[in-house]
């Protein structure tokens, strides 16, 4: 486990050093890719001027509103379609696939026509893309619940409702988490897309504005902050996953994980 | 309906705990590229009685419908015709008078050993304090004290099956239905679990119906062994096992009598044919919880 952390630190270190050194050595034109240290200085300046905290807060609000809306709609929708109306689900599946592929950015004009140019449209654009991974993974999670588990639970004489909430839902939780993490990633991608269209605040707007004035350091500063937010969000979700879905070992933390997987082999079969 | 009840009254002996009357189980096979659609008879005219406190083993080749028969006893499957009576009352669905242990353990992975064992007690709405005392007792009974707060994924196969047995016993059902419970563990563990099961059976005085495809296991465990043959699944003969009890910690497996019983069952099983698998296990989850599901 220790060596894994070392490997990971080395990999990140090499990438960051290359970012610093290549522009400085003139191998890459610093006009296009400024060295890391300049970007850090720019981030620091934006922090001090108060611009960065303001825009970050606004962007976070939008991303999480969209994601929350997707969770509030996606999970119940998945539960209904996967659990209660499987035949309806089979029928509407192609339609849902179509919806999932419909890029809200292309339809932005129509969305803005209905919802205006304010927050509603942005949250809708983010939420629209985030709903589908959550819904699909919830449906898949329910469909793939081990038949033996349901059989065992039914043998206790459980009614349909308790069977669903006590067995099927917890058994589907790992899959639901997978969808949730996928959606959280989408939320940050769509956040920037939505802020690039008719916004006057947010990190996406900061990047677009810097592009227009060809302020390369600020473009990279914005990109670094957005990436960091997405990575931190994913880490927090992994942490939450590991706390809730204790029985799978998929919730491993990527960056600084010192946690040994708790798969103790208790092969002292006849010990007790 | 009246005739079925009359049949039951006519035929059942006084000390019968479970009475199986004229069970038929037919399922429809869909048309495939090579074969037309047809009805497949998985169980044909099964009649059987299990006495109170008896250890009955159902043995047969895979596909003879023995697991389906167990599902019918559990109330998880409804026979095409015929009926099952427990204490003279017709079975209409699953209930807490029967505990079931499946081959794949089917433990709830998000629950600890203790929480798994207490599941039936929660359904029965036993108060929390009492639950703990009961689960303690049954965890001890299956030899898992010290593992109460472990999760199933931390346990070996044999230990998981012990938890499954404790879970099925904890809410005190009269009958324990076991579907090839030891088929997935290694030979050594298997013999240990068989010994344990006999000990637990003698201690708790449950009526046990045990499904296996192992002749040796059937001969070692059962008071009687019902031999089923496949295609269609019929009850060929019931062999009474007169081996002395307790059978644990003895050299019974190497005795001449044991060899004779084993050979007798083996002979009965000889003219069987290949199988078509029953439908219950492959049923999608959604079918079990959707409003149109049969519960």
**Where does the pLDDT of residue B11 fall: very low under 50, low under 70, confident under 90, or very high at 90 and above?**
low
With CB atoms and an 8 Å threshold, state whether B289 touches A154: no
Residue B102 counted as domain residue: no
Residues contacting residue A76 through CB under 8 Å, at least 6 positions apart: none
Residues of chain B neighbouring A149 (CB-CB closer than 8 A):
106, 108
Highest mean pLDDT among A107-116, B221-230, B248-257, B267-276: B221-230
Distance from CA of A106 to the nearest CA of B (A): 36
Query: Do B179 and B167 lie in a common domain?
Result: no
Examine the pLDDT at A262 and tell me if it is beyond 50: no
With CB atoms and an 8 Å threshold, state whether A247 touches B291: no
Examine the pLDDT at A88 and tell me if it is beyond 70: yes
Which residues span the domain enclosing B137?
Answer: 107-172
With CB atoms and an 8 Å threshold, state whether B285 touches A142: yes
* Least confident interval from A124-133, B106-115, B278-287: B278-287
Option in B106, B155, B192 nearest A266 (CB): B155
CB neighbour burial string for A110-126, b if at least 16 within 10 angstroms, e if fewer: ebbeeeeeeeebbbbbb
Domain finish residue from B172, B200, B216: B172
Query: Do B118 and B87 lie in a common domain?
Result: no
Query: Do B69 and B117 lie in a common domain?
Result: no
Give the CA distances from residue A17 to residues A11, A21, A23, B59, B260, in Å, rounded to whole numbers and listed in that order: 10, 6, 10, 69, 79
Residue A227 counted as domain residue: yes
- Nearest residue of chain B to residue A265 (CA atoms): B154
Residues contacting residue B161 through CB under 8 Å, at least 6 positions apart: B101, B105, B181, B182, B184, B185, B193
- Nearest residue of chain B to residue A245 (CA atoms): B110
- Nearest residue of chain B to residue A150 (CA atoms): B285
- Nearest residue of chain B to residue A163 (CA atoms): B289
Q: What's the pLDDT at B285?
A: 57
* Domains of chain B: total: 2
- Nearest residue of chain B to residue A139 (CA atoms): B286
Query: Do B193 and B256 lie in a common domain?
Result: yes
Residue A101 counted as domain residue: yes
Q: For this complex, say whether ipTM is above 0.85.
A: no
Is A167 in CB contact (< 8 Å) with chain B?
yes
Option in B153, B284, B286 nearest A263 (CB): B153
Examine the pLDDT at B2 and tell me if it is beyond 50: no
**Where does the pLDDT of residue A13 fall: very low under 50, low under 70, confident under 90, or very high at 90 and above?**
very high
Size of interface A-B (CB pairs under 8 A): 122
Assign residue A211 the CATH number of its domain. Answer: 1.10.3720.10
Q: What's the pLDDT at A255?
A: 40
pLDDT in tens, A170-211: 999 999 999 999 999 999 999 988 888 777 889 999 998 898
Q: What's the pLDDT at A234?
A: 92
Cβ neighbours of B256 (radius 10 Å): 7
pLDDT in tens, A39-67: 999 999 999 998 899 999 999 999 999 99
Q: What's the pLDDT at B271?
A: 59
Give the CA distances from residue A179 to residues A90, B252, B275, in Å, rounded to whole numbers and listed in that order: 19, 56, 40
Examine the pLDDT at B290 and tell me if it is beyond 60: no
- Chain A residues 129-158 within an 8 A CB cutoff of chain B: 142-158
Query: Do B266 and B130 lie in a common domain?
Result: no
> Distance between CA A123 and CA A115 in Å, rounded?
10
Examine the pLDDT at B281 and tell me if it is beyond 60: no
Is A64 in CB contact (< 8 Å) with chain B?
no
Give the CA distances from residue A219 to residues A195, A210, B179, in Å, rounded to whole numbers and listed in that order: 14, 6, 64
Q: What's the pLDDT at A252?
A: 40
Residue B295 counted as domain residue: no
Q: What average pLDDT does this structure show over A62-81? A: 92
pLDDT in tens, A147-161: 889 999 999 988 888
CB neighbour burial string for A9-18, b if at least 16 within 10 angstroms, e if fewer: eeeeeeeeee
Between helix A51-79 and helix A119-143 the angle, nearest 10°, is: 40
Which residues span the domain enclosing A105?
Answer: 61-244
Residue B240 counted as domain residue: yes
Q: What's the pLDDT at A264?
A: 39
Query: Do B69 and B164 lie in a common domain?
Result: no
**Where does the pLDDT of residue A256 fall: very low under 50, low under 70, confident under 90, or very high at 90 and above?**
very low
Examine the pLDDT at B234 and tell me if it is beyond 90: no
**Where does the pLDDT of residue B249 fall: very low under 50, low under 70, confident under 90, or very high at 90 and above?**
low
Q: What's the pLDDT at B286?
A: 53
Please choose, from the candidates A72, A188, A91, A79, the residue with its C-alpha nearest in 3D space to the C-alpha of residue A136: A79
The sheet with strand B55-59 has its strands ordered as B98-101, B175-179, B207-212, B55-59, B224-229, B234-240
Query: Do B219 and B140 lie in a common domain?
Result: no
Q: What's the pLDDT at A235?
A: 93
Residues of chain A neighbouring B155 (CB-CB closer than 8 A):
266
Residues of chain A neighbouring B151 (CB-CB closer than 8 A):
246-247
Query: Do B159 and B178 lie in a common domain?
Result: no
Q: What's the pLDDT at B289?
A: 55
Examine the pLDDT at A145 and tell me if it is beyond 80: yes
């Amino acid at each position: 486990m220790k060596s894994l952390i070392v490997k990971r630190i080395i990999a990140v270190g090499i990438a960051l050093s290359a970012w610093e050194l290549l522009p400085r050595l003139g191998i890459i034109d610093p006009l296009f890719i400024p060295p890391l240290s300049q970007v850090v200085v720019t981030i620091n300046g934006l922090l001090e001027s108060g611009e960065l905290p303001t825009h970050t807060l606004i962007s976070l609000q939008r991303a999480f509103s969209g994601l929350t809306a997707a969770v509030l709609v996606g999970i119940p929708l998945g539960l209904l379609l996967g659990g209660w109306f499987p035949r309806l689900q089979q029928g509407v599946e192609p339609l849902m696939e179509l919806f999932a592929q419909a890029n809200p950015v292309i339809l932005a004009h129509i969305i803005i026509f209905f919802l205006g140019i304010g927050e509603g449209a942005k949250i809708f654009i983010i939420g629209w893309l985030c709903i589908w991974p959550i819904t699909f993974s919830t449906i898949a999670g329910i469909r793939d619940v081990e038949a033996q588990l349901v059989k065992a639970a039914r043998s206790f004489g459980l009614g349909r409702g308790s069977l669903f909430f006590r067995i099927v839902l917890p058994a589907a939780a790992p899959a639901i988490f997978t969808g949730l993490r996928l959606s959280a990633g989408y939320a940050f991608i769509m956040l920037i897309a939505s802020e690039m269209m008719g916004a006057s605040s947010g990190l996406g707007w900061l990047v677009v504005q810097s592009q227009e004035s060809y302020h390369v350091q600020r473009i990279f500063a914005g990109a670094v902050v957005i990436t960091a937010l997405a990575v931190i969000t994913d880490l927090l979700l992994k942490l939450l996953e590991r706390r809730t879905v204790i029985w799978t070992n998929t919730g491993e933390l990527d960056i600084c994980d010192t946690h040994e997987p708790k798969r103790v082999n208790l092969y002292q079969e006849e010990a007790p | 309906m009246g005739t079925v009840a009359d049949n039951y009254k006519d035929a059942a002996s006084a000390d019968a705990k479970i009475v199986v009357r004229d069970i038929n189980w037919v399922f429809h096979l869909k048309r495939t590229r090579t074969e037309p659609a047809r009805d497949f008879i998985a169980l044909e005219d099964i009649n059987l009685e299990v006495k109170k406190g008896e250890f009955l083993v159902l043995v047969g080749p895979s596909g003879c419908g023995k697991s389906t028969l167990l599902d019918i006893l559990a109330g998880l499957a409804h026979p095409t015709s015929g009926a099952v009576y427990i204490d003279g009352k017709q079975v209409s669905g699953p209930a807490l008078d029967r505990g079931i242990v499946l081959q794949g353990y089917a433990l709830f992975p998000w629950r600890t050993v203790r929480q798994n064992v207490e599941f039936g007690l929660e359904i029965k709405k036993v108060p929390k304090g009492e639950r703990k005392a009961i689960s303690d007792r049954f965890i001890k009974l299956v030899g898992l004290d010290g593992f109460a707060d472990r999760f199933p994924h931390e346990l070996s196969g044999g230990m998981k099956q012990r938890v499954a047995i404790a879970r099925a016993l904890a809410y005190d059902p009269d009958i324990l239905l076991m579907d090839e419970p030891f088929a997935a563990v290694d030979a050594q563990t298997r013999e240990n679990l068989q010994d344990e099961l006999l000990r637990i059976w003698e201690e708790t005085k449950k009526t046990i119906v045990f499904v296996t495809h192992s002749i040796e296991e059937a001969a070692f465990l059962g008071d009687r062994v019902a031999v089923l043959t496949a295609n269609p699944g019929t009850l060929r003969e019931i062999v009474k096992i007169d081996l002395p009890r307790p059978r644990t910690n003895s050299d019974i497996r190497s005795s001449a009598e044991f060899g004779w019983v084993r050979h007798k069952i083996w002979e009965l099983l000889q003219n069987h044919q290949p199988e078509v698998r029953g439908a219950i296990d492959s049923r999608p989850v959604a079918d079990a919880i959707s409003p149109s599901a049969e519960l």
